[in-house]
Amino acid sequence: MLAKARDDRYPTAGAMAAALSDALGLGKTGVLSAVGGAEATLLPTGMAPAAPETNLRVAREAEPAPTRRRAWAVPALVVAGIGLIGLAIVGLVIVGLLAQGWLEQRNGPTAVAVSTPTLQQGIGAPPTATSEPPTAQPTATLAPTETATAGPPTHSAVSIASITNGGLDTDFADAPVGSIELGGVVFELDGRAFRSQAEPAPNNTFPTEAGIVLERAGVTRVFVLITSGDGFTRWRGRTVGEIVLTFVGADPLIVELVLGENLREWHAADNVVSEADGVVEVWRGPITGHPELSGVLDLLTIRVPESHAEATLVRIDFRDTSVESVGSRDPAITVAGLVIEHR
């Protein structure tokens, strides 16, 4: 049955069955007459099957040979595909790095965006979209035409009643009194003034200085109604007094009163200094007993520097220094009004 040469094999299945029966001593034991789907029938021993020999061979040839399913083929293909994709990605990264290095050598280094780490999804934080870059939140800005500016400064009249020692009516026939605007500044005048010492008596008994206590922050300017008495021309250009502004939070400011610069005689005459560029004439009226002559009130403006903007003005002193500077009680200083400008 298994002989290599075809002629040595049994020609038919029946012959092989007969030989097997003889070898086993089965005698006339029957054999299967068919191999296909027909019902099996026992045949006498030695009888050949009715079907031709070729039926069995043809049937075997017609049936497709069972193929062994290769279970490893699909996973192998998947692994190979993943490997190819990985190699492609690595190749793209290498090409990108080489291109970036070439660009940096040509154009200089480029900025690299660094992502900010976010909380892992599913651990106490909502999913974070990574496909789109974060957008900046809008911020409020002022319109181009709007500019924040500070309000206008305030003028506050300061009473000098605590230092006055004489009346303006001795100089002027109709002295200004009450709330009156002089040089764009509103003063509150009561018809009295501070006068420093001078010659002759009784003026030689007047004080050489006087001070006003106040408390005002954010001072920008100080306005003073001031004139000189007996300001003779021989002392033109000489310092005859000073105004001292004392602050808390800043150094004091000292304004020297120089005859012919920021101080002048209260009336015009040939032997007195009647001109000074540092003051502005704001009032003129007839002199008491001499209606043909006129006297004046001048406005002196003291500007406080920005370095004192946060300081508090607490005192203003008016000082007559003529004895020390020119060796005489003359000239005298007359202060008739005071206003503080502040924010």
**Which range of residues forms the domain containing residue 33?**
6-62
User: Residue 147: pLDDT above 80?
Assistant: no
Q: For residue 50, is it within any domain?
A: yes
Could you give the number of structural domains in the chain? 2
Under 8 Å between Cβ of 240 and 230: no
pLDDT in tens, 155-209: 999 999 999 999 999 999 999 999 999 999 999 999 999 999 998 888 889 999 9
Q: For residue 83, is it within any domain?
A: no
Are 52 and 173 in the same domain? no
User: Residue 15: pLDDT above 90?
Assistant: no
Scored b (16 or more CB within 10 A) or e, 102-138 reads eeeeeeeeeeeeeeeeeeeeeeeeeeeeeeeeeeeee
Are 44 and 170 in the same domain? no
User: Residue 31: pLDDT above 50?
Assistant: no
Q: What is the pTM of this model?
A: 0.58
User: Residue 120: pLDDT above 60?
Assistant: no
The amino acid sitting at 231 is G
Question: For residue 29, what pLDDT is reported?
Answer: 43
Q: Which tops the pLDDT comparison, 135 or 238?
A: 238
Segment 8-20 mean pLDDT: 71
**What pLDDT band is residue 37 in, cutting at 50, 70 and 90?**
very low
Question: For residue 122, what pLDDT is reported?
Answer: 37
Under 8 Å between Cβ of 180 and 320: no
Q: For residue 188, is it within any domain?
A: yes
**What pLDDT band is residue 42 in, cutting at 50, 70 and 90?**
very low
**What pLDDT band is residue 18 in, cutting at 50, 70 and 90?**
confident
Q: For residue 304, is it within any domain?
A: yes
Q: For residue 21, is it within any domain?
A: yes
Are 184 and 319 in the same domain? yes
Are 296 and 167 in the same domain? yes
Helix (H) or strand (E) run with residue 85 in it: helix 73-107
What integer best gives the mean pLDDT of the chain? Answer: 78
User: Residue 73: pLDDT above 70?
Assistant: no
Question: For residue 5, what pLDDT is reported?
Answer: 63
- What is the spatial distance between Cα 223 and Cα 180, in angstroms, rounded to a whole number? 14
